[in-house]
Amino acid sequence: MADYLETIEDRSVFPSIEPGSLRPLFPAVPPEAPEPLAAILDDYRRLVEPNATGWQHPGFLAYFATTASGAGILGEMLTAAIGQNAMLWRTSPIATELEEVVVDWLRQALGLLEAFDGLLTDTASTSSLIALAAARQAAGLDVAALGLTGRPDLPALRVYASAEAHSSIEKACMTLGLGRDGLVRVPVDDMYAMRPEALEASIAADRAAGRRPIAVVATVGTTSSTAVDPVSAIADIAEREGLWLHVDSAYAGPVALLPHRRAAFAGWERADSIVVNPHKWLFTPLDASLLLTRRMPDLRAAFSLVPEYLRTLDREAPVRDYNEYTPQLGRRFRALKLWIQLRWFGLEGLRRRIERHLELAQAFARWVDDDPDWERLAPVPFSTVCFRWHPAGAATEADLDARNAAIMDAVNRTGEIFLSHTRLDGRFTIRLAIGNLRTERRHVERAWALLREAASA
Ligand SMILES: Cc1ncc(COP(=O)(O)O)c(C=O)c1O
């Protein structure tokens, strides 16, 4: 593990292989006899490490980073060794109570009031699913008991999120029986943020048509361009309309550790639930998502089911059995790695690293702005820059799309830097997202040099 991390920069951030080329390297049938560990580890080095995507590589500037810090890796090793299942207090008193401690530490670090309690899940997708299941339950239709089918009393249910909201919100609606039609995609302004007046109009139109609005999802840091929905204005509407407000800040949430940067989050303290992913910008090994909520009893109403074999003598005591708040029973001891990491970095260390990433993104945005051949395509509220090559008098939009795709591909083929893309207003947009623990200024400078080389080629 140490060797891998020490040599990470000598490796390609993305292996130059074709899909389907790996499977034939492995035996088609399972081993009948036990094999020596040395042989297994040799094969690990030969077959696994060179064919992995370099999420731990400082040149990883694609998607949103997930880096595993050394302290987090140690936490994962100890988690595996101690082998806890955090489903009941009885099945792991320490995993249960340390989860309460860590959730509360993170709440304080993010500057949120004590009214927020919560839990740890695997991903933001699960956290948002749980939040929206609770919102559905809180709508008073007792879906947990009665379901959604064969109920003539039930109007069509509606959830609202911006056109730029993450696909996990739509998936949650698919999973919860609301369907993709149950999600209303509210139009955005020219900064890619939800337009509150359009939200109001959508809700009014749905009510007039006999549909039942239940929740609104505001995003602070959208996936494509890291746009910030106006949470305060959305909270006003949610409050007036009696809707559950869920804030998805899976990527950007850790910025709230910096008190002077909290303006972007104004209004999120009024949310019913908030998701922030430590496995994105808090350098925690996948997986770790934090779901904070002021309405734990609604989560419990949505998911609690206690068969006899899960009943324990402690049930009358004030213990928390976390499985009652989630769809799954077995739960990982995620609090351990977070506890270790929070102590290892200190909030001060985390703030310093996040601030550095914010500064690097601003520097990159300036280089783009200052070069007449390049164009920035969105504001940079956090650490992600959206841009494209666009020299004066150049080509059609379709041609620009193709050329920018080729530029990104050329950079990625170097193996030094890994970028990803999105589409903004239909335009092919290169994204450079800084969030890897090991990324330094020289990597961002290298990305810029490679982009310009590729463009002139
Ligand atoms: C805003 C936002 N929400 C949710 C997610 C989904 O995160 P996860 O992979 O933890 O489910 C992402 C992923 O990038 C995201 O950017």
Q: Is the pLDDT of residue 42 over 70?
A: yes
Q: Which residue has the tokens 């909201």?
A: 165
Of the pLDDT bands very low, low, confident and very high (cuts 50, 70, 90), residue 314 is low
Task: Dump pLDDT digits (tens) for 329-375.
Answer: 999 999 999 999 999 999 999 999 999 999 999 999 999 999 999 99
Q: What is the pLDDT of residue 100?
A: 98
Average pLDDT for 377-384? 98
Q: What is the pLDDT of residue 319?
A: 83
Q: What is the pLDDT of residue 395?
A: 78
Distance 276 CA to ligand 1 centre (A): 9
| CB of residue 124 inside a 6 A radius of ligand 1 | yes
Q: Is the pLDDT of residue 325 over 80?
A: yes
Q: What is the pLDDT of residue 311?
A: 83
Nearest CA to ligand 1 atom 7: 124
Q: Is the pLDDT of residue 318 over 90?
A: no
Between strands 117-121 and 289-293, the pairing is antiparallel
Q: Is the pLDDT of residue 281 over 90?
A: yes
Tell me if the bond preceding 122 is cis, omega within 30° of 0.
no
Look at 148-157, 189-198, 311-320, 358-367 and tell me which has the smallest mean pLDDT.
Answer: 311-320
Q: What is the pLDDT of residue 316?
A: 65
Distance 343 CA to ligand 1 centre (A): 25
Shortest CA distance to 402 belongs to which of 427, 376, 419? 427
| CB of residue 431 inside a 6 A radius of ligand 1 | no
| CB of residue 219 inside a 6 A radius of ligand 1 | yes
Q: Among 168, 282, 384, which residue has the most ligand 1 atoms within 8 Å of its CB, making it the best to mutate?
A: 168
| CB of residue 125 inside a 6 A radius of ligand 1 | yes
Task: Dump pLDDT digits (tens) for 113-157.
Answer: 999 999 999 999 999 999 999 999 999 999 999 999 999 999 999
Q: Is the pLDDT of residue 282 over 90?
A: yes
Average pLDDT for 419-447? 97
Rounded Cα distance, 169 and 180, in Å: 9
Nearest atom of ligand 1 to the alpha carbon of 223 = 16
Q: What percent of the chain is predicted at pLDDT more than 70?
A: 99
Nearest atom of ligand 1 to the alpha carbon of 279 = 10
Task: Dump pLDDT digits (tens) for 172-185.
Answer: 999 999 999 999 99
Q: Is the pLDDT of residue 193 over 90?
A: yes
Q: Is the pLDDT of residue 237 over 90?
A: yes
| CB of residue 277 inside a 6 A radius of ligand 1 | yes
Rounded Cα distance, 290 and 57, in Å: 25
Distance 163 CA to ligand 1 centre (A): 15
Kindly report the average pLDDT of the chain as a whole number. Answer: 96
Q: Is the pLDDT of residue 309 over 90?
A: no
Average pLDDT for 409-436? 97
Q: What is the pLDDT of residue 148?
A: 94
Give rounded-to-5 percent helix, strand, coil for the chain. 50, 15, 35
Q: Is the pLDDT of residue 317 over 70?
A: no
Shortest CA distance to 72 belongs to which of 437, 368, 455? 437
The alpha carbon dihedral of 217, 164, 157, 118 has a sign of negative
Rounded Cα distance, 356 and 54, in Å: 21
Q: Among 251, 290, 334, which residue has the most ligand 1 atoms within 8 Å of its CB, making it the best to mutate?
A: 251
Q: Is the pLDDT of residue 190 over 70?
A: yes
Average pLDDT for 419-437? 97
